[in-house]
Chains A and B, each alone.
Chain A
Amino acid sequence: MTYQFTVSPDFSPDHLSGWYIFNTWLQKQTGEGIHLEMYNSFQEQGTAIQNDGVDLIYANPFDAAMLVRDKGFCPLAKPVGVADEALIAVSADSAIYDVADLSLGTKIAMTDDPDVRMMGMMLLEPGDLSANNTQIIHCNAYILVAKQLLQGHADVGVFLAEAYDDLSGMIKSKLRVLVRSEISVIHHALMAGPNLAHRKEELQALLVAMGADDKGRDVLKNLGFEAWATVDHEDMEFMIDLMDALAV
């Protein structure tokens, strides 16, 4: 049997080759055929999950509830020291210095990255802003969110904090951060579907051992982190409850 593996479409383009290298490593370690399919959008990925076409996924936290509670996935591991955080930025010459000063009808540039959208809208709540009283400008990448700000088309931009930090110094010098989330407990996770659940412990042991092995560390370096830590079921349930609380 060939298992189907996918990575949440919000992966950094810099890590694309890293995920293919990781998949090769995983096949060697498990002795199983694993096909990596990268979907272009959350919609395409969602369709594949609904059709039971995914056995292993590096999942966005926003999808965790559906994966665990509706599709029977179990959590395996998360990157050590990596949490999903969002931030709100404006053009450096903007007159806005506090979210509370934003007005109804504010134009918000954001991507379709679901957990960052949710955290971003939460950061805008102190300004009484919601999806119902603002104009959303949809962007396909964080660099395009920055472009909307620089060209004056958007009043604020919602960024994955890591993506903002990775923008060039020149671009960041023309932007200003209004507020950055400090949530710490929302993270992507590698999760196994029902077809792989019987190998959960073995997979977790392999993943955790990667950080202690030269070859494993080289593979992880291409993904942008240094080690995996196991995620148990209750850790995942806690994060799902937290996401539920933030979604309302």
Chain B
Amino acid sequence: MRDFKPEDVVGGYKEAVLDLYGGLRRVVFYTNIETPYPDGKLIVSTTDTNGIITHGNKAFVEMSGYTLDELIGSPHSILRHPDMPAVAFKDLWDTVSKGEHWQGIVKNLRKDGGYYWVKATVIPNIRQGKLVSYTSVRRKPSRTKVEECTVLYASLK
């Protein structure tokens, strides 16, 4: 996965080491700068069955801060924020690998170290009865839900 570069980060930052799905480790830099979710837009991305990004829409590029070329071929965990508890992603993978939809409020990490909150729905893409990929659709969450999850996720760390 692409390394985090201090020169990409905007503002004062902290450092964290993340243990990601598939045995990956990543050093990330993160700030307290929130990018508000744009009204009316959907962020859409597709991964293969191993969680590697194969497609992303314009809103995905805009909100993540990465170029499409940087996103395609990267694990979806490139967006993982250190404030997100590992148990949330375990629940995600356990759910979608059973062929079911997963939905949750997620804090995502931008390339510039900032963050954005989303209401994410991940669905398995079944073709001719076979799992071929996953699609993640993100939309604007309510502030109430974000505040609830901020407290909840801190307690699960």
Q: Is the CB–CB distance between A127 and B142 below 8 Å?
A: yes
Q: Is B143 an interface residue (CB 8 A)?
A: yes
Closest to B137 in A: A245
Q: Is the CB–CB distance between A241 and B139 below 8 Å?
A: no
Interface residue from A128, A181, A237, A248 paired with B125 (Cβ < 8 Å): A237
Q: Is the CB–CB distance between A182 and B101 below 8 Å?
A: no
Q: Is the CB–CB distance between A244 and B123 below 8 Å?
A: yes
Q: Is B121 an interface residue (CB 8 A)?
A: yes
Q: Is B144 an interface residue (CB 8 A)?
A: yes
**Per-residue CB proximity of A158-184 to B under 8 Å, as 1/0?**
000000000000000000000111111
Q: Is B41 an interface residue (CB 8 A)?
A: yes
Q: Is A238 an interface residue (CB 8 A)?
A: yes
Q: How many angstroms between the C-alpha atoms of A241 and B42 in the bound complex?
A: 14
Q: How many angstroms between the C-alpha atoms of A157 and B39 in the bound complex?
A: 17
Closest to A123 in B: B40
Q: Is B119 an interface residue (CB 8 A)?
A: yes
Q: Is A16 an interface residue (CB 8 A)?
A: no
A-B pairs with CB below 8 Å: how many?
Answer: 62
Q: Is B97 an interface residue (CB 8 A)?
A: no
Q: Is the CB–CB distance between B40 and A245 below 8 Å?
A: no
Q: Is the CB–CB distance between A125 and B139 below 8 Å?
A: yes
- Knowing A241-B135, A242-B135, A245-B123, say if A100 contacts B103 (CB, 8 Å): no
A52-100 contacts to B, CB under 8 A, are: 99-100
**Do most interface residues of chain A lie in helix, strand or loop, or is the interface mixed?**
helix
Q: How many angstroms between the C-alpha atoms of A246 and B101 in the bound complex?
A: 11
Q: How many angstroms between the C-alpha atoms of A181 and B125 in the bound complex?
A: 24
B44–chain A nearest beta-carbon distance, Å: 7
Q: Is B56 an interface residue (CB 8 A)?
A: no
A87–chain B nearest beta-carbon distance, Å: 8
Q: How many angstroms between the C-alpha atoms of A242 and B43 in the bound complex?
A: 11
Q: Is B145 an interface residue (CB 8 A)?
A: yes
- Knowing A241-B125, A244-B101, say if A125 contacts B142 (CB, 8 Å): yes
Q: Is A126 an interface residue (CB 8 A)?
A: yes
Q: Is the CB–CB distance between B103 and A248 below 8 Å?
A: yes
How many residues in A have their beta carbons less than 8 Å from beta carbons of B? 23
Q: Is B26 an interface residue (CB 8 A)?
A: no
Q: Is the CB–CB distance between A179 and B101 below 8 Å?
A: no
Closest to B46 in A: A238
Q: Is the CB–CB distance between B139 and A122 below 8 Å?
A: yes
- Knowing A241-B135, A245-B135, say if A180 contacts B144 (CB, 8 Å): no
Q: Is the CB–CB distance between A126 and B142 below 8 Å?
A: yes
Q: Is the CB–CB distance between A238 and B135 below 8 Å?
A: yes
Q: How many angstroms between the C-alpha atoms of A242 and B119 in the bound complex?
A: 14
Q: Is the CB–CB distance between A245 and B121 below 8 Å?
A: yes
**Per-residue CB proximity of A100-116 to B under 8 Å, as 1/0?**
10000000000000000
Q: Is the CB–CB distance between B127 and A237 below 8 Å?
A: yes
B122-157 contacts to A, CB under 8 A, are: 122-123, 125, 127, 135, 137, 139-145
Q: Which residues of B contact A238 (CB under 8 A)?
A: 135
Which B residues lie at the A interface, using CB under 8 A?
A: 38-42, 44, 57, 59, 101, 103, 119, 121-123, 125, 127, 135, 137, 139-145
Listed from nearest, the 6 A-B pairs whose CB atoms lie closest are: A245-B137, A245-B121, A128-B142, A181-B40, A179-B39, A126-B140
- Some 16 contacts from A to B, beta carbons below 8 A apart, are A99-B39, A123-B39, A127-B142, A128-B144, A128-B145, A179-B39, A181-B40, A182-B41, A183-B41, A184-B57, A241-B123, A244-B123, A245-B137, A246-B42, A248-B101, A248-B103
